[in-house]
Amino acid sequence: MVTGARWAMITAIPMRTEHLLTLTQWLSPAYPVGAFAWSHGLERAVARGDVSDSASLADWLAAVLQHGAGRTDAILLCTAHGADDVMPVAELAAALAPSCERRMETMQQGAAFAATTRAVWGLELPDMAYPVAVGRAAGLMDLPVVPVAQVWMQCFASNLVQAAQRLMPLGQTEGQRVLSGLSRICADVGAAAVHASLDDIGSATFSVDVASMQHETQYPRIFRS
């Protein structure tokens, strides 16, 4: 992990104004990728009682970010950013999904992101897994990869906090407190992913993966994953 003064230096990397505005537009809740429809297995975790308050939510999300899809997606994003041929990265990303719903989550959001970004910016961006599509688009637009990966991590966490607010008694202020507590993890994992390769991908969030598998038969439910 990056710590202390080194962390502060990395997170202070400047972006050109147009790059910053493009990135915040892409990762804004208003960008039409349908992120609100997916909970990444969190709905099942709440139903099982694994996540029941802000403390257990923070622990769950920290595990996802550091040891699960958060870290994996950050590495995929960074690799796609600098790849000469992005398709092998895209194929690996699709294959890594541990359940049917998780594959749909990343593929459908990625396709929606790619469609809008092609239409607005005219990029040659095929449909592919969400983090790969964002990384590829950022590379084509010359957005610096470190802040892209870090903001990606924060937006991923933010989407899950918003999902939790629909699933359990969690007020907006407490939700923002949880998200703020995860900011250091988002910055660290995003920065470290720049120096990782596809061979470094691995996860150890078995409970999260099982929850996503069990969610496929959960009824009633409000999320698609």
For 11-52, how does the pLDDT look when each residue is reduced to its tens digit (9 = 90+)?
Answer: 445 678 999 999 999 999 999 999 999 999 999 999 999 999
Backbone dihedral angles phi then psi of residue 94, each to the nearest 5 degrees: -65, -35
Tokens of 135: 């990384």
Percent of the chain's residues with pLDDT above 90: 93
Tokens of 129: 């897994």
Radius of gyration of the chain (CA): 17
- In one letter, which amino acid is 70? G
